[in-house]
Amino acid sequence: MEQQDKLDYEQFLSGDKAGFERLVLRYKDCLIQFIARYVKDVYQAEDLAQDTFVEVFLHPERFRTDSSFKTYIYTIGHNKAVDYIRKNAKLTLIGEWEETDAVRADSLLLEEKVIQEEEKRELYRIMKTLKPEYEHILYLIDLEGVSYADAAKVLGKSEGQIKILVYRARKRLKQKMGCSDEER
């Protein structure tokens, strides 16, 4: 996938807008879902994801092909989500999220496109009960398959911090899922 991303990006840089469109179509849903885990509003997440792609479109020279395109847009999306939260004091990363029926319905539609299996829905439910930083790291590493190094770039942490965070998040998730030591 990374190779195809680089080819599409090179086409975009050479003036072919179809390469950019393919990148947007490939990553928009997972980027919206990633951002929604921060802002807790799927509509706002869609706007921030669009802002992310607009930034990439307006500043194509900023992407360096030594990292993956997915890592690049997730980093921009993370920064946009954090900026949004800072500007809107009523939204915080800490605390409970009150879902409205419309947001819940949209989230389910998006999740159903990405996740088909019932077991993963249960995992998401349990993950939402974790501390937000645990939920975010598990989403990146385990569900999106982002490397530790790329997760460190996205979240602005060292690889060592990411490893510790993943270990603690997985341990807490196993506790919430009721796994005994033998099952681990």
Cβ-based neighbours of 108, under 8 Å, separated by 6 or more: none
Question: What is the per-residue pLDDT across 110-121, written as a single tens digit (0 to 9) for each?
Answer: 554 444 456 666
Domain locations along the chain: 1-97, 115-184
CATH topology of domain 1-97: Rna Polymerase Sigma Factor; Chain: A (1.10.1740)
With helix as H, strand as E and coil as C, how does the chain read? CHHHHHHHHHHHHCCCHHHHHHHHHHHHHHHHHHHHHHHCCHHHHHHHHHHHHHHHHHCHHHCCCCCCHHHHHHHHHHHHHHHHHHHCCCCCCCCCCCCCHHHHHHHHHHHHHHCCCHHHHHHHHHHCCCCHHHHHHHHHHHHCCCCHHHHHHHHCCCHHHHHHHHHHHHHHHHHHHCCCCCCC
Q: Is the pTM of this model over 0.85?
A: no
- CATH number of the domain located at residue range(s) 115-184 in this protein: 1.10.10.10
Q: What is the pLDDT of residue 15?
A: 85
The residues of the chain scoring below 50 in pLDDT are 90-97, 112-116, 181-184
